[in-house]
Amino acid sequence: MQFKLGDIAVDVVQKDIKNLHLSVHPPAGKVRISAPLRMDIDTIRVFAITKLAWIKSQQKKLREQQRETPREYLDRESHYVWGKRYLLKLVEKEAAPTVELKHNKMILQLRPGASHEKRQEVLDAWYREQLKEVIPSLIAKWENVVGAKAGKFFVQKMKTKWGSCSPGPKNIRINTDLAKKPLQCLEYIVAHELIHLVERHHNERFIALMDTHMPQWPQYREMLNSLPLAHQEWEY
């Protein structure tokens, strides 16, 4: 269901909940209201009107959020690892490609004449490996906290989400780009997805579980949403 407030479209999802929940999602400021099943649309609309100033301020903040420029993989280009900025240094050598962090430099060693695509491929693979080293311990920690057992985990490029889970096989998928963000952001997403194994929907129970197990989660979400977005458009 959807209605308009001037030029702002508001998506409405009715669920088995007691209270209204309003959210504004990056990157474009999409507005969503979760409402109780039997609540009539006029009541929901009046609620949205009372929150119009807040909606517009959130959308303005998202429009002004910094975006990364497209990566060109050239010397002295900025790249991020666990939230820290490094300057790329290209080294040509007849040997297997490697990536090394040294002081404030990310040293990318490639064979002579390596293409833009090859540079991206090597760095993406390296970022995946950073995540694969860290994620198992985070999953083990949060399985004990939440009381749910995950299946397999996968690290991959995802265009519209930071993470996802499959309730059936209980598999968790993590976006490769989280290796560029502070570690707290990755832990927040791991906890978020594991709690979805207990409660599938973003309802009051889900929020209560997040509040109980990770009271700082709103700060971590804000941190993730305030960092420069990748050149692609993200939806959280």
pLDDT tens sequence across 109-167 = 999 999 999 999 999 999 999 999 999 999 999 999 999 999 999 999 887 678 888 87
In the predicted model, is pLDDT for residue 195 greater than 50?
Answer: yes
The pLDDT confidence band at residue 173, using thresholds 50, 70 and 90, is: very high
Range name among 116-120, 166-170, 190-194 with the lowest pLDDT average: 166-170
Give this prediction's pTM: 0.72
* CB neighbour list of residue 221: distance below 8 Å, 6 or more residues apart: 188, 236
Asked if residues 127 and 179 have their Cβ atoms less than 8 Å apart, the reply is yes
Q: If you average pLDDT over residues 75-80, what whole number do you get?
A: 93
Instruction: Give dist(CA 99, CA 114) in Å, integer.
Output: 14
Reported as type and span, the H/E element at residue 206 is helix 204-213
Domain ranges of the chain: 2-63, 115-226
Instruction: Give dist(CA 93, CA 205) in Å, integer.
Output: 55
Range name among 7-21, 55-69, 95-109, 222-236 with the lowest pLDDT average: 222-236
In the predicted model, is pLDDT for residue 83 greater than 60?
Answer: yes
Tokens of 95: 């040997």
Total residues found in the chain within this entry: 236
Asked if residues 27 and 62 have their Cβ atoms less than 8 Å apart, the reply is yes
pLDDT in tens, 2-22: 999 999 999 999 988 888 989
Asked if residues 179 and 131 have their Cβ atoms less than 8 Å apart, the reply is yes
Q: If you average pLDDT over residues 33-61, what whole number do you get?
A: 92
* CB neighbour list of residue 129: distance below 8 Å, 6 or more residues apart: none
Instruction: Give dist(CA 161, CA 173) in Å, integer.
Output: 10
DSSP-derived secondary structure for 168-189: TTTEEEEEGGGGGS-HHHHHHH
What topology is assigned to 115-226 in CATH? Zincin-like (3.30.2010)
| Residue 83 identity (one-letter amino acid) | G
In the predicted model, is pLDDT for residue 234 greater than 60?
Answer: no
Instruction: Give dist(CA 79, CA 85) in Å, integer.
Output: 6
Instruction: Give dist(CA 1, CA 92) in Å, integer.
Output: 56
